[in-house]
Chain A
Amino acid sequence: MGKKIFILAAVFFTITALAFSQIPVVDFDELQPRLITGSDSVYVVNFWATWCVPCVKELPEFEKINEIYSDQKVGVLLVSLDNARHIESRVLPFIEQHGLKSEIILLDDPQSNRWIPLVDESWTGSIPATVIFNKNSRSFYEKVFTYEELEDAVKLKMN
């Protein structure tokens, strides 16, 4: 009996540990390679946070792109700007609650004056913000997308 509980507990902690390691935490230097590509794919990188109401509102559109275009060369990356201290208390529960399937990483780099212009020179710093690019061109959007707008922007890069 005691042994069973021990094994159950071990399994539980392993699963919990796996769940908590779902989100890689990176600084901007680690994120930057994800903002360019030499491949034939189109990448959609969205900057968001759980506390950002307009970001949360448009997340389903990114999820939909990720799902509908999963068999085509389109990759969606959701970059959370939440405080890294809130991963377990807010970000992971949010991901579970909303059933997010897209790849998610957390950018923990408070020196935003340095990296904002490296994402895009025109970015004033408000979120949501999105970069859509292929190996030849990039577009930057500091706005909330509807699904139609997002799909059009992705298709623009697929040709």
Chain B
Amino acid sequence: MFFTLAALTFNYVSGQGYQVGDRATDFRLKNVDGNYVSMSDYPDARGFVVVFTCNHCPYAVAYEDRLIEINNKYTPKGFPVIAINPNDPALQPQDSFEQMQVRAREKGFTFPYLFDDGQSVYPVYGATRTPHVYLLAKQNNDLIVAYIGAIDDNYQDPSAVQDRFLSNAIDALLSGSKPDPDFTRAIGCTIKTAAN
């Protein structure tokens, strides 16, 4: 009862950012290779896995290998991964552009790792933590948010995963159905911004 009460009476922050079904905006951000990347650069993509992630957060680090796997599996099927670091390096020096370049090289990222310089993109999406996934599906000329949330249900141990939320959601889109669930949650690191 108390849980319901709390949900009704307090803290409606969920009105900010995207919800499933919303039209997502494109961006133009600098990749670790120095080039700028937009989703419009991928005319053949059927959608995108936009994941807000970073260097310093243990939860984000725990998912690096799984993101590489997902990118390698789903890019040929039309759903490439685009990773975006939303943190302010003034507050989290480990998440500077130079450190992103180092990490991308160390791990051999097969996807772009973009820097949300000036933090203009993550608030539009409504990301609150790293990692935080937005799965987008192309419909006509729009990018529609199809799934928001976690990559899977066990950050600690890939072999103990029971629900591969993100992969299942992409598979659903590929087979012409809607992801279910289309919204999940996970613990993650707060996005670091001077406004907090």
Shortest Cβ distance from residue A143 to the other chain B in the assembled complex, whole angstroms:
8
Residue of A nearest to B58 (CB): A51
* Contact present for A112 and B187 (CB under 8 Å): yes
* Contact present for B190 and A52 (CB under 8 Å): yes
In the complex, which of the residues B2, B58, B153, B160 contacts A113, with contact meaning CB atoms closer than 8 Å?
B153
By secondary structure, the B interface counts as loop
* Contact present for A120 and B3 (CB under 8 Å): yes
Q: How many residues of B contact A (CB 8 A)?
A: 39
Shortest Cβ distance from residue A117 to the other chain B in the assembled complex, whole angstroms:
7
- Looking at the complex, which of A17-25, A65-73, A92-100, A132-140 is the stretch in contact with chain B? A132-140
Contact with A along B1-29 (1 / 0, CB 8 A): 01111110111111000000000000000
* Contact present for A142 and B191 (CB under 8 Å): no
A116/B185 contact (C-beta < 8 A), A51-B58, A53-B92, A122-B13 known? yes
A122/B189 contact (C-beta < 8 A), A36-B2, A53-B92, A138-B2 known? no
In the complex, which of the residues B12, B14, B186 contacts A116, with contact meaning CB atoms closer than 8 Å?
B186
In the complex, which of the residues B10, B162, B188, B196 contacts A125, with contact meaning CB atoms closer than 8 Å?
B188
* Contact present for B153 and A117 (CB under 8 Å): no
* Contact present for B160 and A126 (CB under 8 Å): no
Shortest Cβ distance from residue A63 to the other chain B in the assembled complex, whole angstroms:
20
- Tell me the bound Cα distance from A117 to B4 in angstroms: 10
* Contact present for A81 and B187 (CB under 8 Å): yes
Residue of B nearest to A83 (CB): B156
Q: How many residues of A contact B (CB 8 A)?
A: 35
In the complex, which of the residues B6, B162, B165, B186 contacts A120, with contact meaning CB atoms closer than 8 Å?
B6
Contact with A along B158-196 (1 / 0, CB 8 A): 001011010000000000000000001111111110001
By secondary structure, the A interface counts as loop
Contact with B along A12-52 (1 / 0, CB 8 A): 00000000000000000000000010000000000001011
* Contact present for A113 and B186 (CB under 8 Å): yes
Contact with B along A96-122 (1 / 0, CB 8 A): 000000000000001111101110111
* Contact present for B196 and A111 (CB under 8 Å): no
Q: Which residues of A contact B190 (CB under 8 A)?
A: 52, 54, 126-128
Query: What are 19 contact pairs spanning A and B, CB under 8 A?
Result: A53-B91, A81-B187, A112-B153, A112-B185, A113-B149, A116-B187, A120-B6, A120-B10, A121-B7, A122-B6, A126-B128, A127-B188, A128-B190, A137-B5, A138-B3, A138-B6, A139-B6, A139-B10, A140-B6
